[in-house]
Structure 1
Amino acid sequence: MKLSALFIGFLAILGCESSPKTTQSEKKTAKTYPAFIGTYSRKEGHVDGKGEGIYLYQLDSATGYLDKIGVQGEIVNPSFLTPSADGRFLYAVEEIGADVDDAGRVVAYRQAGDHLEKINQQSTFAFAPCHVSTDSKGRYVFVANYVGAIAVYPVAENGGLGEAIYKEAYTGKGTHSRQDAAHPHSVNLSPDDNFLYVPDLGTDNIYTYKVNYADPKKPLTRIGATKVHRAGGPRHFTFHPSLAKAYVVNELSCSVTVMNWDKTTGKLDTIQSISTLPADYQESGNTCSDIHVTPNGKFLYAANRGHNSIVGYAIDAEGKLSLIDHASTQGEVPRNFAISPDGRFLYAANQNSDNILILSIGADGKLKYRKEEKVFTPVCVRFGN
């Protein structure tokens, strides 16, 4: 009887294999990609930061595993990172809160294998910078400050940042308790680099700008705004890789808004809104954080903090979403996640449980556990070329 029970248990373990095995073909075509993980490095009002700065890894595309190769210290709260398209530089914000005398900063680095070489830094002219981006040709760097402002910087040939050539303070508020003021939360370029979209969590607007590369004295011109639903709290934003569709995750209403995107005018028009939570989820306090589309355009994922899950959707021919399922992040407060460049794996950064969960993406879009990587207070995962 005891042997029989052990045998049944052994079969059960075999049946619960957590992730697909790597094939010989995948091993032969495997590539490695640089990976960068931003962390909170000190205690703030909303987080007990324990990270050392920016962690450098190599991603093995065959297994999806991360191999740590270095760490860049001497930076405070690098909560968001963006690598340049040519793989030479990395830009990071220092998220400094309003309880200190100095504004936030944006820092430029040169990628140098197992370490980063600091080039220079510039003030962001406001507190709590929370997002940074750059165009595909490395002409400008854009920064969003949660405490009400955006800024634009010219990029020198060596990757360094000049003084800001554009600064804009945001005003307004919404109806939710978190919407006591304007809170621009991300700065997102269109696939053609011609437009910049800034979701403002505080006013429920997505502001649209025309980007001018010919005249650095006037890099941005605001041309419109798109309102998401009341008390939505738009946060992060992304585009479909082939369809003229844009998607925004709404932090406060726990939803994803789908929009038509006019490539000529930059205009956005809402066509769908869908919840990020299970229909039977009754607990309060969940907020959304991040959103990404797979490189093949078949699936979209968004992160729930509170429910602590990644929700997956299938994308149809019109760009609309239908629920696949929810996968636990096996940690607390997934503030950010990334999809591997080949679209096979997803990496969820659990801010409050000091771990990154690696999930494989199935042909049906379902997520399966692959591995866990221990990292102190991880809040941003980005991949280079």
Structure 2
Amino acid sequence: MSFKENNTQAPANQSTSAATECRVYASEGEKLIQYDLNCDDASLIRKWSLTLPAFIQSGCFHPTKPLFYLALSKGGYAAAVPIEEHYLMAFKIESSSTLTQIGKTISLPYRPVHISLDKTGVQVLVAYNVPASLSIHDIAEDGCLTEAFRIPDLTMRKYPHQVKTSPKNDLITICATGQEMIMDSTNFRGAIHVFGYKNGHLTGTLNSVSLNNGLRFSPRHLEFHPYLPLAYVSLERQNELHVYHYDHKGFDPEPLFVHTTLFGGASKSMQLCGTVKIHPNGRYVYAANRTLGWYEENGKKMLAKGGDDIAVFEIDALTGALTPLQRIDSEGIMPRTMSFDTEAKLLIVANQFEAEALEGTEMKHIPQALAVYKINTDGHLELANKYPLSKYQKPMIWMDVLCRNL
């Protein structure tokens, strides 16, 4: 199938003006850390940190205004714990790069696993994994969050992990992995839930993608192609990338293309596919492969090599089909989040955990780390710089990059 008839011209990369500043925001537990990103030499300079009232879970920037929203939970990175302190906060990003909280801290009912803004920047969407639910929060003209919010009555599979609006702002997608707390469970049933969306309100359930009635179907993260009517979805437990056609009526029930993210071999440890990012030119897609960092052998924890990496694919400009190009080490354990700079010449990857494991006969410490890669013109990644954190830091659950004229 070709989508040439639906294909508008691919957007050109925007050049960075002298006034543009690029900043990386990353979490260490309750701590938010801001780095300046030098796009010329791919370097990071740590500037400041801010301690917040709970573990940072997810964040998002306003599409046009200097506003920043963060979701927090006292439950840390655990999926479901008996704790009732969860928050949503709004900040103004000052020209000095500091943050000023605006409005009240909003209490949330459950652990917020992911948040995003709609394309117009008037709603914050919050996904909860336990119980499976969604809340919609209005943003006032001054950027503050209104205290009242809506929790639509939705029927969803277990463990939503991402909520996202379509490029035309007419759909909301929720990826639900369906997982149980037992990591080796094989009876989970997941789905990609698709809802109509208009003027800040859901307009009904359009459909759900749930192959094999969802059995062992675990969609974790979804990215819309910038100019083809396609969505690229990571399947966490299957370690696959699925490509779906969609329109205003919803998603097609079957994927157009399926490709393993473990091409070229896998590690001995459990593999979990994660975040997906599509280059703004629409030609390349990047998917995070993750392990738990080690595997058991003769009662010892052995370092699992080759399983924490970024899988790179080329996207066919007409059909959206995938061609595998590269797998490159993430320079850490469990790369959870990644993001481009403003020109998409760099990819920054945040590795969530640190680990102690045997490599040969020696115990090796693998720190949490931020890795900065140059993106070559053919889509391949080249490691430019690596920034390990000091030992015994709390997990780096979230990271993103903001590049904007100030």
Settle same-fold status: TM greater than 0.5: yes
Distance 1:279 1:244, change over 3 A: same
Distance 1:172 1:241, change over 3 A: closer
1:255 aligns with 2:273: no
Give the AA of the match of 2:41.
T
Secondary structure of the residue aligned to 1:185 is strand
1:286 aligns with 2:271: yes
Give the AA of the match of 2:309.
S
1:191 aligns with 2:209: no
Q: Please say if residues 83 and 383 of structure 1, whose CA atoms lie closer than 8 Å, have aligned partners that are also in contact.
A: no
In the TM superposition, residue 228 of structure 1 has moved relative to its aligned partner by 4.2
Distance 1:172 1:193, change over 3 A: closer
Q: Please say if residues 32 and 61 of structure 1, whose CA atoms lie closer than 8 Å, have aligned partners that are also in contact.
A: no
Gapped regions of structure 1 (runs ≥ 5): 1-25, 42-52, 174-181
Match runs of 1:145-160 below 5 Å: 145-147=128-130, 148-160=132-144
C-alpha distance in 2 between matches for 1:223 and 1:189:
14
Q: Which runs of structure 1 show a deviation greater than 6 angstroms over 4 or more consecutive aligned residues?
A: 26-30
Q: Which residue of 2 aligns with 1:212?
A: 198
C-alpha distance in 2 between matches for 1:365 and 1:359:
11
Q: Which residue of 2 aligns with 1:8?
A: none
C-alpha distance in 1 between matches for 2:118 and 2:16:
33
Give the AA of the match of 1:336.
T
Q: Which residue of 1 aligns with 2:87?
A: 105
The superposition leaves residues 331-350 of structure 1 with CA deviations (integer Å, 9 ceiling, x where unpaired) of 11111111222111111111
Q: Which residue of 1 aligns with 2:23?
A: 34
Give the AA of the match of 1:192.
K
Match runs of 1:282-361 below 5 Å: 283-306=268-291, 307-317=307-317, 318-352=319-353, 353-361=367-375
Q: Please say if residues 39 and 79 of structure 1, whose CA atoms lie closer than 8 Å, have aligned partners that are also in contact.
A: no
* TM-score, with structure 2 as normaliser: 0.77
In the TM superposition, residue 278 of structure 1 has moved relative to its aligned partner by 2.9
Match runs of 1:1-385 below 5 Å: 31-41=20-30, 53-97=31-75, 98-112=80-94, 113-119=96-102, 120-127=104-111, 129-147=112-130, 148-168=132-152, 182-202=158-178, 203-213=189-199, 218-228=201-211, 230-262=215-247, 264-269=248-253, 270-281=255-266, 283-306=268-291, 307-317=307-317, 318-352=319-353, 353-375=367-389, 376=393, 377-384=395-402, 385=404
Corresponding pairs, count: 336
Q: Please say if residues 165 and 219 of structure 1, whose CA atoms lie closer than 8 Å, have aligned partners that are also in contact.
A: no
* TM-score, with structure 1 as normaliser: 0.81
C-alpha distance in 1 between matches for 2:127 and 2:165:
13
Distance 1:155 1:172, change over 3 A: closer
Which stretch of structure 1 is more off in the superposition, 218-227 or 303-312? 218-227
Secondary structure of the residue aligned to 1:371 is strand
Give the AA of the match of 2:113.
C
In the TM superposition, residue 256 of structure 1 has moved relative to its aligned partner by 0.9
In the TM superposition, residue 28 of structure 1 has moved relative to its aligned partner by 8.8
Q: Please say if residues 156 and 193 of structure 2, whose CA atoms lie closer than 8 Å, have aligned partners that are also in contact.
A: no
In the TM superposition, residue 122 of structure 1 has moved relative to its aligned partner by 1.7
Distance 1:272 1:159, change over 3 A: same
Give the AA of the match of 2:68.
L
Gapped regions of structure 2 (runs ≥ 5): 1-14, 179-188, 292-306, 354-366
Counting strand residues as a fraction of each chain, which structure ranks higher? Answer: 2
Q: Please say if residues 169 and 198 of structure 2, whose CA atoms lie closer than 8 Å, have aligned partners that are also in contact.
A: no
In the TM superposition, residue 287 of structure 1 has moved relative to its aligned partner by 0.7
C-alpha distance in 2 between matches for 1:96 and 1:268:
38
Distance 1:315 1:164, change over 3 A: farther
The superposition leaves residues 283-302 of structure 1 with CA deviations (integer Å, 9 ceiling, x where unpaired) of 24111220000111111000
Distance 1:210 1:326, change over 3 A: same
Q: Please say if residues 239 and 247 of structure 1, whose CA atoms lie closer than 8 Å, have aligned partners that are also in contact.
A: yes
Q: Please say if residues 337 and 400 of structure 2, whose CA atoms lie closer than 8 Å, have aligned partners that are also in contact.
A: no
Which stretch of structure 1 is more off in the superposition, 292-301 or 268-277? 268-277
In the TM superposition, residue 142 of structure 1 has moved relative to its aligned partner by 0.1
Distance 1:354 1:284, change over 3 A: closer
Higher relative contact order (CA 8 A, sep 6+): 2
Which stretch of structure 1 is more off in the superposition, 28-37 or 312-321? 28-37
Tell me how large the CA RMSD over aligned residues is. 2.2
Give the AA of the match of 2:216.
A
In the TM superposition, residue 212 of structure 1 has moved relative to its aligned partner by 2.3
